[in-house]
Structure 1
Amino acid sequence: MQKTEIASYLDAIELKPKSVYVVHEKLERSLPLHSHSKSQLTYVDGGIAYIFIGEKTYFIPARHYIWIPRGLPHYVKVRTSATITRNLYFYTEDDHTNTFYSKFGIYPVNNLLFEMIGFTNKWSGYIEKKDEGYNFMAAIKNILPQMSIKSFPIALPTTTNTKLRPIVLYMAQNFGQQITLDNIATRFGMGERTLSRLFQSTMNISFLQYLKLLRIVRAIEMILQDDYTTTEIAYLTGYNSLAAFSKAFFQVTNIRPSDFNKQNRQ
Structure 2
Amino acid sequence: MHPFLENVKRDPNSFFVYHTKIEERLPMHSHVKHQLSYVEGGVAFLNTRNKSYFFPARHFIWIPAGREHNVTSRTSVKIIRNIFFPKEAIPKDHELQYQGGIFPVTNLLMEMIYYTVNWRGDVSQKDTSKYEFLMAMKNIVLDVAENPLPIVLPTTKNEILQPILKYIHLHIDQDLYVDKIAHEFGQSARTLSRLFKKNIEISFLQYVKLTRIIKSMELLLQTDLSVTEIAYSCGYNSISAFSYAFHQLIHHSPNEFRKQNV
Regarding TM over 0.5, the answer is yes
How far is the alpha carbon of 1:217 from its aligned partner? 0.6
Indicate if the aligned counterparts of 1:161 and 1:202 stay in contact, CA closer than 8 A. Answer: yes
CA distance in 1 between partners of 2:195 and 2:167 (Å) = 16
CA distance in 2 between partners of 1:98 and 1:162 (Å) = 38
Deviations 1:31-61 (A, max 9, x none): 1111121111111111111111231111111
Give the letter aligned to residue 118 of structure 1.
Answer: Y
Q: Which of 84, 97, 106 is the aligned partner of 2:102?
A: 106
Indicate if the aligned counterparts of 1:27 and 1:83 stay in contact, CA closer than 8 A. Answer: no
- What is aligned with 1:242? 239
Sort the Cα spacing of 1:211 and 1:151 in 2 relative to 1 into closer, same or farther, 3 A. Answer: same
Greater CA deviation, 39-48 or 234-243? Answer: 39-48
CA distance in 1 between partners of 2:88 and 2:104 (Å) = 25
Indicate if the aligned counterparts of 2:19 and 2:120 stay in contact, CA closer than 8 A. Answer: yes
How far is the alpha carbon of 1:123 from its aligned partner? 0.9
How far is the alpha carbon of 1:78 from its aligned partner? 2.2
How far is the alpha carbon of 1:81 from its aligned partner? 4.4
Deviations 1:83-132 (A, max 9, x none): 31100011222323650431212110111111111111021112222225
Q: Which of 189, 202, 205 is the aligned partner of 1:205?
A: 202
Q: Which of 103, 108, 111 is the aligned partner of 1:115?
A: 111
- What is aligned with 2:4? 9
Indicate if the aligned counterparts of 1:27 and 1:81 stay in contact, CA closer than 8 A. Answer: no
TM-score, reference length from structure 1? 0.92
The gaps in structure 1 that reach 5 residues or longer are 1-5
Indicate if the aligned counterparts of 2:23 and 2:70 stay in contact, CA closer than 8 A. Answer: no
How far is the alpha carbon of 1:28 from its aligned partner? 6.1
Q: Which of 158, 177, 183 is the aligned partner of 2:180?
A: 183
TM-score, reference length from structure 2? 0.93
Partner SS for 1:122: coil
CA distance in 2 between partners of 1:99 and 1:198 (Å) = 34
CA distance in 1 between partners of 2:21 and 2:249 (Å) = 31
The gaps in structure 2 that reach 5 residues or longer are none
Partner SS for 1:200: helix
Matched, 1:251 2:231: no
CA distance in 2 between partners of 1:190 and 1:10 (Å) = 43
- Correspondence 1:16-165 to 2 at 5 A: 16-26=11-21, 29-96=24-91, 99-102=94-97, 103-131=99-127, 132-165=129-162
Deviations 1:122-161 (A, max 9, x none): 2111222222522211210122112331111111111121
CA distance in 2 between partners of 1:256 and 1:81 (Å) = 26
Q: Number of matched residues?
A: 260
Give the letter aligned to residue 34 of structure 2.
Answer: S
Partner SS for 2:255: helix
CA distance in 2 between partners of 1:81 and 1:182 (Å) = 37
Indicate if the aligned counterparts of 2:172 and 2:234 stay in contact, CA closer than 8 A. Answer: yes
% identical aligned pairs: 47
- What is aligned with 2:220? 223
Sort the Cα spacing of 1:190 and 1:98 in 2 relative to 1 into closer, same or farther, 3 A. Answer: closer
Partner SS for 2:236: coil
CA distance in 1 between partners of 2:251 and 2:147 (Å) = 11
Greater CA deviation, 213-222 or 197-206? Answer: 197-206
